[in-house]
Each structure stands twice: as C-alpha cells, then as structure tokens.
Structure 1
Amino acid sequence: MPTVGLLYPGHSAEDDFPALEERICGAVRLPVVITSVGEDAHRVDALLDIGSDARLADGASQLSGAQPDAVMWACTSGSFVFGPQGARAQAAAVADAAGVPASSTSIAFVDALRHLGIRRVAVAASYPDDVAQHFVGFLTDGGAEVVSMGSHGIYTAAEVGTLEPSRVVDMVTAADHPDAEAVLVPDTAMHTLAIIDQLEAAVGKPVLTANQVTVWKGLELLGPVPDLPGLGALFRGRR
C-alpha cells in the first residue's frame, strides 16, 4: 500500500491522520513525525522558523524508518509564508533529505484547485489577518481569485486543535460567498478529516481543508489518487 510520510509541527491535530487511516482500512499508510517548534505562534517570524530547512531535514531523518514513498510538509502557514518560490525550494529540500518526492500543504492547495478546475474561492482562516493575507497572496500567485476571506485571529495551533466540529462548520459557512466555487480551510492544526462531507453539505460546494489536501497531494505524487470515502469532492475527481 502507498505510504505518505507526514512532517507535522508540534501537537494539535496530528491525530487526524491515524484516525483517517483506520476509517479507510489501511488503504494508505500515513506515518507522522512531529517536527520541532521554537514557538507555537501564528506570527510570520515564528512560522519562518517552524518551516526552516534544518527542522524539516531532522524530521525527514526521523521519518526514514517508516520507509515513505512520498513525504508531505503538513503545515500550511509554515510553507506559504515563504512565498511560491520559497515553498517550492522548501519542498525540494525535504525531497533531498528524504530521498523521495515531497511537497507541502500550501502547494497542495494550489494543485488541488487546478485539479478540480476551480478558480474563485472563499477562505475560512483560523489565523490572524496578517498571516491569512499571506495565504491569499499565495493562492493569487497560483492563479486563484479569492472572493472572500474570513480570519479568526487564533494565535496558536494548540488552540485551533481544540475547535469543535460545529465551530469549524460555522467558520466555513460564514466565509462562503455566492461567487466562490469552493471554500478553503487552511490550517493543519484544525481537525477536519472526519467532517469533510458535513462541511460540503453545509455550503453546497467543494470544501478543501489543509489535512485533506495534504493527504491528496501525497498520493498524487505517486500516481492516480484513489477515490476515498468521506473526503469530499477532491477525492471524487473533477466535478
């Protein structure tokens, strides 16, 4: 079975991935290595440190025992703050360290939108506004048009990890816009993998979440992505 190794910063929603593995009866292995974090803060300088090559290379070394076929840097803010070129360089450094194809959550969002043929999006961000604007810029550089954006000013990943499903649904519905073809939820610290169908039902359109696109991109690095239940439009192919 395919094995997508995940480099995940700190502790917040890392349990989303083994729970998914269990629900899909081992159709994919998702071993997680927790990478080091200097400061748990949705602040640009802290995020640049979280996504540093040294921290990710150390994580890739720890992941080697799981023999991953591909590796994902499972952190949106710790990739988009580097900008498109920086994020690609970051992913290339992880690939070099791991010896297998690699990418990141931010790149996964852009690639997932292209896969679905979606351009106009709404963003439901947990981050403070200044950090969320970096994500908007990353999407814009990738060819998307952000028609609305809601930011919620949550300063730490640890707090995001405690959000109840009902709060996540509320954030997604509040961010939605009639012109948006999809709603994006850009934080791997948020538990979302068990509620994708619920989120899509709430807005009547595709919802792309950080943990969902991370798994998708990891599989996409290896070839055709299998249809997986409960993971929304992205895992059902083009609309």
Structure 2
Amino acid sequence: MHRDRPTIGIVYPDHAAEDDYPFAAELLGVNLPVAHIYGTDLHAVPELLDLGSPAKLAGGAAQFADEPLDALVWACTSGSFVYGPEGARTQVEQLSRDAGGVPTTSTSIAFVAALRALGVGRVAVSASYPRDVAELFVAFLADADVEVVSLADAGIDTAAEVGTLTDEAVLEFVRTNDHPDAQAVLVPDTAMHTLRIMRELGKETGKPVLTANQVTVWHGLELAGYTVECPELGSLFEEDTDHGAR
C-alpha cells in the first residue's frame, strides 16, 4: 500500500528541463525527487548508448539509497529507445534491481503505456532530435504496433539547447507538425519544457498531446498504483483515462 504522497524517483540526464518535475509534484501532491546522471548531452547514438549504460543508471539509483521509493523512472527518451525495445526492457529490469526491486520504467516505455491507456494507434511525432535519432523512436513505436503517420525532426544537437526553447517555440513546433490522420501527437524529449503548457498544446491540436516529461510522471505514478485527475497536465490525467491499460 503506497503512502498518502507516493515517491517516484526520477533519474534525469544532465540539466535541461528538470524543473518540470517539481512543478508536477506540486500540482499532483506527490514526491518526484530528481537524481542527475551525467555524460555528453549530444543527441547522437554513441553518446546516448553511453548515457543509458548500466553503470550510469546504477549511479542514479544509488542516489536514492536512503529514500523509500514507490517507483523509479529513467527519464530519458532517447537514452532508452536507442537500445531498441528489448534493450530498453533489459535496461529498466537492471535499474529495478539496482534500486532494490521497486517498479521501474523509462520514458520510452512510458510512451507506449500511455498510448495503450488512451487507445491510440496512429500518431504524429514532433521530435527535437536529428533525423537519424528520431527514426529510432519511430522504430521503437513500430515494435509496439504504433503507426507513425508523420515524423518531424528539429535537428537540435544537444539537450541543453532543447531546454532553452520558449513555450511559444514548442507550441509552434507541435502545431505545425500535427497530421490530420494522427490520433495524438508525441513530443519525445525530456529536455523540453512542456508541463506548464499542456492545456495549450491540447487546444492547438484538438487531440491528445503526449510529452516526455508528462508520460514519465504518469507512468511512474501508475506503477506505484496511484492515479490522480489533473487536466492541467493533459489527456493522460483526465478522469476518463483507462489508467489500468498497459
């Protein structure tokens, strides 16, 4: 049985948009402590493989050694999907062992869980990454039978640069890269500030918008057995969402 305020540990790479998490924690009345791990913040495959390596993630888990957790999330989309579906599952299994067996997920896995909870099978992807990295996310989704009807990439090389994007820049990027056949728009980078503009993103598109920091928080709470209605954080946190789907 979880405590009144569940604690979801967030293992976060470097520094970019981690202030999204205390914002969500205050809105939801939960604890979302952040542990940072470090590496180059390049959106490039070799660097991402290093960032999500077992040794790096073990260092993140170790920072929560004295903090009882209800769940743990590797809060990095590219640093999880770059390993492929099987590798991403292995990644979180190892991280769970490092954290003493608490339920564990990653942002990439959280995207798939969120799509299933919403019953969504066709999406548009608005990715900040260079094209080759963005295409790996498309492949990750395809393995879960999610059809990407359009892919836009901003070609931004570093997470730090993504973290400086203004709210209007994010809104414009998502607005212009929606697709009429998509049931939802996915925005897969935890370096991008999105949680303060989830309502605006939904209004711009007229459909669910799933962002990396949003699904990270949602799936961590779901694994902890905790659900809360908070429409300010988008469709995933609305009352009629089927939180029990996986």
- TM-score tier after normalising by the smaller chain length: over 0.9
Aligned to 1:7: 11
C-alpha contact (below 8 Å) 1:124/1:186 kept by paired residues: yes
Quote how far apart the aligned CAs of 1:68 are. 1.5
Aligned match of 2:21: 17
Q: Find the partner of 2:141 among 127, 139, 142.
A: 139
Preserved CA contact (<8 Å) 1:18 1:30 = yes
Tell me how far 1:238 sits from its aligned partner.
2.9
Q: Percent identity of the aligned residues? A: 58
Contact 1:31 1:66 in 2 (8 A): no
- 1:98 matched to 2:99: yes
Partner Cα distance (2:26, 2:9) in 1 = 16
Matching residue's letter, 2:171: V
Residue in 2 that maps onto 1:238: 241
- Between the aligned partners of 2:67 and 2:162, the Cα distance in structure 1 is 28
Q: C-alpha root-mean-square deviation of aligned residues, in Å?
A: 1.1
Question: Aligned pair 1:41/2:45, yes or no?
Answer: no
In structure 1, the gaps of 5 or more residues are: none
> What is the one-letter code of the residue matched to 1:145?
E
Corresponding residue of 1:83: 84
Contact 1:150/1:174 (CA < 8 Å) preserved in 2? no
Structure 2 residue corresponding to 1:116, chosen from 115, 118, 123: 118
Deviation string, structure 1 residues 92-112 (Cα, Å, up to 9, x no partner)? 011000011100000000010
Q: TM-score normalised to the size of structure 2?
A: 0.94
2:64 matches 1:66: no
> C-alpha displacement at 1:228, in angstroms?
2.1
Q: Deviations over 1:165-199 (max 9, x none)?
A: 00000111111000000000000000011111110
What one-letter code is carried by the residue in structure 1 that aligns with 2:19?
A: D
Structure 1 segments of 4+ aligned residues over 2 angstroms from their partners:
none
Please tell me whether the aligned partners of residues 42 and 154 of structure 1 are also in contact (alpha carbons under 8 angstroms): yes
Comparing 217-226 and 80-89, the one that deviates more: 217-226
